[in-house]
Structure 1
Amino acid sequence: MNAPTQMIARLRSAVPLQLDYGGPTIMNKPSSLTYFERDMASVVHPQTNLLKHLQTGPTIVTHGEGVYVYDDAGDRFLDSGAALWCNSLGYGSERVARVAYEAMQKLTYFQLFRGYSHGPAIDLSERLLQIAPVPMSKVLLQCSGSEANDSAVKIVWYYWHGLGKPERRKIISRQGSYHGSTCVAISLTGNSSYHKSFGLPFDGFIHVDSLNYYRSAKPGETEEQFSQRLADALEATILREGPETVAAFWADPVQGNAGALPPPKGYFEKVQAVLKKYDILFVADEVICGFGRTGSMWGSQTYGLQPDIITCAKQLSAAMLPISAILMNEKVFDVVKNESNKQGAFVHGFTYAGHPVAASVALEVLKIYDEMDIAARVKSLEPVFLQQLDGLTDHPLVGAVSGVGLIGGVEIVKDKETRASFDAGVDIGGRIVENARKNGLILRVASNRIAYSPPLIISEDEIVDIGTRTRAALDDTLAEVRAL
């Protein structure tokens, strides 16, 4: 057994540190209520129909091991999505828990405000600059992907103010993108369902066409031609808005919210040429793709991106503690530095940004990635993963598949010939998710696509198992919709 394989075996078998809380309590007093009942009485759940939740209740996850999680009924589920794209090293790591424990003993907390610093923040920032896909100058640590993208927007605006061009304020992103849940980050997001009833998006956030070649290509149009049309549409949007008013273009290398959708061939090459022509900053949102997911350490490497700013989170700490980072190149930092001097300070920050315990955990996770040669491992699993996706194309509900590394998706259709989608009332996504649960599989469905992003420690056999369980879920769903 080689060293990376031994490392994976240890991670998969590791049991996290256990703390005995003495069972359910309320205000330190024993409670006769179950966690299910207490959740119903007290918890608001994100991305959840809150009325229906009060009728159906939560699934209580009690523990995890490797690529599996267990509920309070003892049922085991294979997690095909690494929770929220982030749990790259699976569930349970005593090694990382020990690092967090030792870090907390040494320095429970200190801020990075007003020139203070500490070793973990410095070490992590240096390491991120060392592994960056393109030369970067400085790192701003934050707490989440949403915070990273929100902060990056402020940096972009600060940059153009520093150059005496405050009118360059508009941000362009793509339909199908997701960039976070703050008011600014959700304005970046190209999905109207995230905006309804919140009075969002803010003005000045512009969303260009979807990248879905299967859904949006014209008859006979090649992927390269489709990409050129998208690049031409981007240029037309810039000209319509006025290049002198456009600050930046935002892009996630693979669109998670669009259903783990990779870009069509030639897309980023053509788009970057447009951005360069009009001197528009390019921000790569690597929150999902960073740290091995696409078969390279960064999605930017997989697709030849040359960003001015990179945002990252999720797999930076393998989701074990909240942390994120913004990397900016020297061109951007030089202006930000000078503008901060002009204003007296760079007046931005979050209390917990660069938390010493979270930074220590992220450093250890990056060490584990090095020991596993994580990008090479993902690349070696890519053929098996893509084979499982391809194997579903004969199913009546499947229109097309696409993927890269260990991220990809399956297009769900009502009719394979016309590529028509199911009516919203059928809730095809909800049916597939529920039938997957019945088959012991946690699936995510987004934008009529099943989206996969399993933990990076997954084995070939477990990837095959995902394919088998997905087919069973699709069969059960097909039987349901035919009976409607």
Structure 2
Amino acid sequence: MNDRIDWTAHYQALDAAHHLHPFSDMGALNRTGSRVIVHGEGVYLRDSEGVRIIDGMAGLWCVNLGYGRQELIDAACRQMHELPYYNTFFKTTHPPVAELSALLAELLPTRFNRFLYCNSGSEANDTALRAVHRYWAVQGKPEKRHVIARHNAYHGSTIAAATLGGMTGMHEQMLSKLEHVAHIGQPYWFGEGGTMDPHDFGLECARQLEAKILELGADKVAAFIGEPFQGAGGVIFPPASYWPEIQRICREHDVLLIADEVIGGFGRTGEWFAHEHFGFEPDVITMAKGITSGYVPMGAVALSDAIADAIIEGGEFNHGFTYSGHPLAAAVAVTNLNLLRDEGIVTRVRHDTGPYFQRCLREALAHHPIVGEIAGTGLVAGIQLAEDPATRKRFDITDAIGTLCRDFSFEGNLVMRASDDRMLLSPPLVVTHAEIDEIVQKARAAIDATAQAIRRAA
């Protein structure tokens, strides 16, 4: 009798029987079986078959310090012994959340000194909405309710955050949506710029915001929300003309500007926050993911002093969560952010690994027959697959092409994400030159295999 257990089959069976995955066709997944990930160290994962995988996506854009950092493990363990949980509802605080708030105030631009806490990016964007509406109410302008967002943006999966997001597939499955949300076009020059040059296209996209504000009435519009670069939408970097014009329009019409930094925050672009790379000044900043390097769930919202002061003077703000400012999450966040700063990791992304990553990608994929564009800076990139790069002609079956390339990548033991026909990379911020070389080589191999499969099918 063979007593050996096939652990892969065991966990696949449990998973198929009881676990519903996010954003998945569960019927198809259960037929093939999930890949069982059992270990992580640095920028690598290992599955239940012992195969090593290089993580080109830092989990879901979040594992900035890489896997297995003992300092984060120790911080969590110490806090579990000291105070595993307490709320901040009953006129109480605790050292980790107070220390985290002071540290964030040091890292953010000077006019951000007060923070609200939650558990995720979705909750952070929900919280930002609540704060914005409360601000206008205490200002005597409760009629300023409308929030403008963009098509093909992702702001989370709760009802409010998913309404803000402009993902068509998500909206089609939502029977309920938040009121007073409008959408404008995305600044996606490669796919939607037509014959316009990037500068003029960026201005035209930004001016859609002004047109929408005037359509709704500036006295009815509370805020505009945008990711500095669109993450899940394809790592779409707007033309340089875009964000300065967005900021001008918001200021001119007394509309608050919310920067969704859930992906871009904490060093991804080589700046502490992505809006600094693009050179604009938001009024509200939402954060999550990299705040703890994904080791513990946490989200946060930074309010500019003008907004925070008004809310403080306006009486009780009826908002919060059981786990707002959770002591374990806050303790891990403090250690994580100190390591990112004290080890010079964000500085290294800006001056060393980020430029190296961008240069290697462009050198490896220059003149590739199905690569139309490489967008990005620091340690984030979007690779546009195209039928004819020279004319910016996209494939007719955009999602199928991306899925094909993603599967080749995963088979080659590189985690590279697909967003329709754009391939996304966002490795841990601790990645080395040698590991970047491996990521780029495996990404090139997956794109080559995709091109070969297209030729065979033609």
**TM-score bracket relative to the smaller structure:** over 0.9
Q: Which residue of 2 aligns with 1:75?
A: 51
What displacement does 1:307 show?
A: 1.1
Q: How far apart are the structure 1 equivalents of 2:420 and 2:228?
A: 17
1:205 maps to which residue?
181
CA distance in 2, matches of 1:373, 1:417: 40
Partner of 1:475: 448
Q: Is the 8 A contact 1:133 1:301 kept in 2?
A: no
Match of 2:373 in 1: 400
Partner of 1:423: 396
The aligned residue for residue 445 of structure 1 is 418
Instruction: Name the CA distance, whole Å, in 2 between partners of 1:233 and 1:198.
Output: 26
| Structure 2 counterpart of 1:8 | none
Instruction: Tell whether the 8 Å contact from 2:240 to 2:278 is kept in structure 1 after alignment.
Output: no
Question: Structure 1 residues 47-56 or 58-67, which shifts more?
Answer: 47-56
- Equivalent in the alignment of 2:239: 264
Q: Judge conservation of contact 2:399–2:419 (CA < 8 Å) in 1.
A: no
2:362 corresponds to 1:385: no
Counterpart residue identity of residue 235, structure 1: E
Residues 1:303 and 2:270 are matched in the alignment: no
In structure 2, the residue matched to 1:41 is 17
Determine the structure 1 residue equivalent to 2:118. 142
Cα distance in 1 for partners of 2:169, 2:132 equals: 26
- Contact 2:269-2:379 at 8 Å conserved across structures: yes
- Of 405, 416, 438, 1:432 maps to 405
* Distance of 2:29 and 2:193 partners within structure 1: 38
Whole-angstrom CA distance in 2 between matches of 1:33 and 1:79: 23
Decide whether the 8 Å contact of 1:148 with 1:326 is kept in 2. Answer: yes
**CA drift at 1:419:** 2.5
Instruction: Report the alpha carbon displacement of residue 32 of structure 1 after superposing the two structures with TM.
Output: 12
Q: Paired residue for 1:347?
A: 318
Name the CA shift for 1:200/1:224 in 2 (closer, same or farther; >3 Å): farther
The 8 Å contact of residues 172 and 206 in structure 1, kept in 2 or not, is answered as yes
Aligned to 1:50: 26
Partners of 2:209 and 2:420 lie apart in 1 by 22
Q: For 1:214 and 1:254, locate their aligned partners in 2 and report how far apart those are by CA, in whole Å.
A: 14
Percent identity between the aligned chains?
35
Q: Which residue matches 2:84?
A: 108
1-side partners of 2:240 and 2:18: how far apart?
Answer: 48
Aligned counterparts of 1:384 and 1:196: Cα–Cα separation in 2: 40
| Distance change in 2, residues 1:164/1:407 (3 Å) | same
Q: Give the deviation of 1:313 after TM superposition.
A: 0.8
Structure 1 residue 45: Cα displacement: 0.4
Distance 1:175 1:299 in 2: 20
Kindly provide the CA deviation profile for residues 131-164 of structure 1, in whole angstroms up to 9, marking residues without a partner as x. 1124113111111111111111011111111122
Question: Counterparts of 2:273 and 2:355 in 1: how far apart (Å)?
Answer: 19
SS in 1 for 2:367: coil
- SS of the residue 2:78 aligns to: helix
Q: Is the 8 A contact 2:105 2:114 kept in 1?
A: yes
Alignment-derived partner of residue 39 in structure 2: 63
Aligned partner of residue 270 in structure 1, secondary structure: helix
Q: Secondary structure at the match of 1:483?
A: helix
Give a deviation string over 1:210-263, Cα, whole Å, max 9, x none. 1112222242x3322222112222111111111111110111112102211222
Q: Deviations over 1:336-368 (max 9, x none)?
A: 1233x2xxx221111111111110000000111
Q: How many Å separate the matches in 2 of 1:174 and 1:155?
A: 20
Deviates more, 1:474-483 or 1:420-429: 420-429
1:330 counterpart residue number? 305
Matched with 1:172 is 148
- Partner in structure 1 of residue 343 of structure 2: 372
Structure 2 residue aligned with 1:462: 435
Q: Secondary structure at the match of 1:272?
A: helix
**Letter of the structure 1 residue corresponding to residue 256 of structure 2:** L
Aligned pair in 2 of structure 1 residues 363, 152: CA closer, same or farther (>3 Å)? same
SS at match of 1:466: helix
Aligned-CA RMSD value: 1.8
CA drift at 1:270: 1.0
* 1:132 is the counterpart of 2:105: no
Unaligned runs of 5+ in 1: 1-22, 25-30
**TM-score of the aligned structures, taking structure 1 as reference length:** 0.90
- Compute the displacement of 1:33 (Å): 7.2
AA matched with 2:418: V
- How many residue pairs were aligned? 451
Aligned 1:131-280 pairs, distance under 5 A: 131-219=107-195, 221-280=196-255
TM-score by length of 2: 0.95
For residue 229 of structure 1, what is the amino acid of its counterpart?
Answer: E
Taking a change above 3 Å as real, the CA distance of residues 298 and 32 of structure 1, as seen in their structure-2 partners, is: closer
**Letter of the aligned partner of 2:395 in structure 1?**
F
Aligned to 1:3: none
Q: Distance in 1 between matches of 2:176 and 2:358?
A: 37
Aligned to 1:363: 334
What is the rounded CA distance, in whole Å, between the counterparts of 1:32 and 1:258 in structure 2? 33
Match status 1:281 vs 2:252? no
In structure 2, which of residues 232, 256, 268 is the aligned counterpart of residue 293 of structure 1?
A: 268
